[in-house]
């Protein structure tokens, strides 16, 4: 008995027939398209119609790929940014160090040129190590001492002018009292007119004062004061200070003259210690070489007195008189 589906579920031709039909249709269309390009127009029309649908269908993939690329590029840029910032900081540090070295080199050149222009036998370059422990004094500690030839009393300068004087010397360190210290007294000379005076330290604000100057003394603002060299400690001509204020009062016999140091008493790092003792010793030796002149004169006087001694026996041959003379000599 043949089974036939009810009319409600009847579906037309069978599946095999439909398969064979569509296969034959596909083969025919492929043949026509390959031989005569008959489906080119249809293909373009279908591609144009389906392009928006393809674009919409590919959007999630593109968005996901863009998100992955964004996150990857963001991480890469962040790491590169950190690397560049670190390199920039290192370059700034190197640039700062190079600038510091350049300035120090320039200051050292000026300092050595100043040392060569001064009439001293030797100059000792040193670095400021620290400040003194006493907060009420203006002193610094330098990194050279007795081993390097630094002695008490030697003047200390920088590339601008007089800085101070060595007050205590240790084997590898030395204490320098600045010109603004209350115990420092410096003979100075006005470079404009040659007036000599004495500068005293110890004022507030790092200033020094010219004391015992007459009220009518020819001292004006901006006058440059240099060492006079009269004390035998400081070589002549080293810049010391510049006059910044002159106060005159008719009720007082002396004027109040305040000066600002030229040297960097608070800011410089390298100093130059001047060895002036050798020059002083050389000047002291010069009179010593001329000292034997009295000895040279003594034989002349002795030879001049020889006739007198020869004449003495003629006048007084008594041996008692020669003994008294000997006792007298």
Q: Per-residue pLDDT for 313 more than 80?
A: no
Residue 231 neighbours by CB under 8 Å, 6+ apart: 186, 187
Determine the distance from the C-alpha atom of residue 39 to the mean position of all C-alpha atoms in its chain, rounded to a whole number.
86
Write down the pLDDT at residue 195.
92
Instruction: Answer for the pair 141, 174: CB distance below 8 angstroms, yes or no.
Output: yes
* Digit-coded pLDDT (tens) for 296-306: 434 443 433 33
Tell me: pLDDT of 146 over 80. yes
- Residue 280: per-residue pLDDT: 43
Cα separation, 323 vs 153, in Å, equals 54
Contact 277, 287 (CB under 8 A): no
- Report residue 187 as tokens: 């003979």
Whether pLDDT at 155 is above 80: yes
Residue 277 backbone phi and psi in degrees, to 5: -70, -35
Could you tell me which residue, 3 or 207, shows the higher pLDDT?
A: 207
Identify the residue with better confidence: 115 or 138: 138
> CA 198 from chain center: how many Å?
32
Residues 6+ apart with CB under 8 A from 165: 153, 154, 155, 156, 176, 177, 179, 184, 233, 234
At 100, the pLDDT band (50, 70, 90 cuts) reads confident
Q: Stretch 277-287: mean pLDDT, rounded?
A: 46
pLDDT digits (tens, 9 = 90+) for 171-200: 999 999 999 998 889 999 999 999 999 999
On the 0-12 / 13-18 / 19+ scale of CB atoms within 10 A, 155 is: buried
Contacts of 264-267 with C-beta under 8 Å, sequence gap 24+, read: 264/158, 264/160, 264/163, 265/138, 265/163, 265/164, 265/178, 265/179, 265/180, 265/206, 266/206
Cα–Cα distance between 135 and 61 in angstroms, integer? 76
Give the pLDDT of residue 5: 59
Whether the CB-CB separation of 219 and 243 falls below 8 Å is answered with yes
Alpha-carbon torsion (318, 324, 328, 329), positive or negative = positive
CATH annotation of 118-281: 2.40.10.340
- Determine contact, residues 170/209, Cβ cutoff 8 Å: no
CA dist., res. 15 & res. 21, Å (int): 10
Distance between CA atoms of residues 159 and 125, nearest Å: 11
Where does the pLDDT of residue 223 fall: very low under 50, low under 70, confident under 90, or very high at 90 and above? Answer: very high
- What band does 242 get if pLDDT is binned at 50, 70 and 90? very high
pLDDT at 157 over 70: yes
Torsion from C-alpha of 66, 69, 70, 72, nearest 10 degrees: 160
Q: By C-alpha distance, which of 132, 164, 138 is closest to 150? A: 164
**CB count, 10 Å around CB of 315?**
9
CA dist 215 → 187, 211, 248 (Å):
19, 11, 6
pLDDT value of residue 251: 85
Average of per-residue pLDDT across 297-319: 39
pLDDT band at 6 (very low <50, low <70, confident <90, very high): low
Beta bridge pairs of residue 123: 274
Whole-number average pLDDT of the chain: 79
């Amino acid at each position: 008995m043949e089974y036939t589906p009810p009319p409600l579920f009847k579906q037309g031709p069978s599946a095999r027939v439909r398969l064979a039909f569509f296969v034959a249709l596909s083969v025919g269309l492929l043949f026509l398209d390959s031989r005569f390009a008959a489906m080119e127009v249809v293909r373009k029309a279908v591609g144009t119609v389906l392009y928006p649908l393809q674009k919409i269908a590919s959007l999630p993939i593109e968005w996901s790929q863009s998100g992955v690329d964004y996150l990857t590029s963001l991480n890469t840029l962040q790491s590169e940014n950190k690397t560049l910032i670190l390199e920039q900081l290192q370059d700034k540090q190197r640039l700062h160090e190079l600038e510091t070295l350049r300035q120090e080199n320039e200051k050292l050149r000026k300092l050595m040129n100043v040392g060569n222009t001064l009439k001293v036998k030797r100059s000792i370059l040193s670095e400021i190590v620290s400040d003194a422990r006493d907060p009420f004094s203006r002193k610094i500690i330098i990194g050279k001492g007795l081993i390097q030839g630094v002695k008490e009393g030697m003047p200390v300068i920088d590339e601008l002018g007089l800085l101070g004087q060595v007050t205590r010397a240790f084997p590898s360190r030395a204490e320098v009292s600045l010109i603004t210290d209350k115990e420092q007294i410096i003979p100075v000379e006005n470079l404009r007119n040659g007036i000599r005076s004495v500068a005293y330290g110890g004022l507030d604000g790092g200033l020094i004062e010219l004391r015992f100057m007459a009220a009518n003394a020819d001292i004006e603002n901006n006058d440059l004061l240099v060492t006079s060299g009269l004390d035998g400690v400081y070589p002549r001509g080293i810049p010391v200070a510049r006059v910044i204020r002159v106060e005159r009062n008719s009720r007082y016999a002396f004027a109040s003259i305040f000066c600002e140091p030229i040297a960097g008493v608070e800011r410089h790092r390298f100093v130059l210690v001047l060895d002036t003792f050798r020059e002083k010793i050389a000047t002291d030796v010069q009179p010593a070489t001329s000292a034997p002149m009295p000895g040279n004169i003594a034989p002349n006087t002795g030879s001049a007195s020889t006739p007198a001694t020869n004449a003495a026996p003629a006048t007084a041959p008594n041996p008692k008189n020669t003994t008294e003379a000997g006792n007298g000599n």
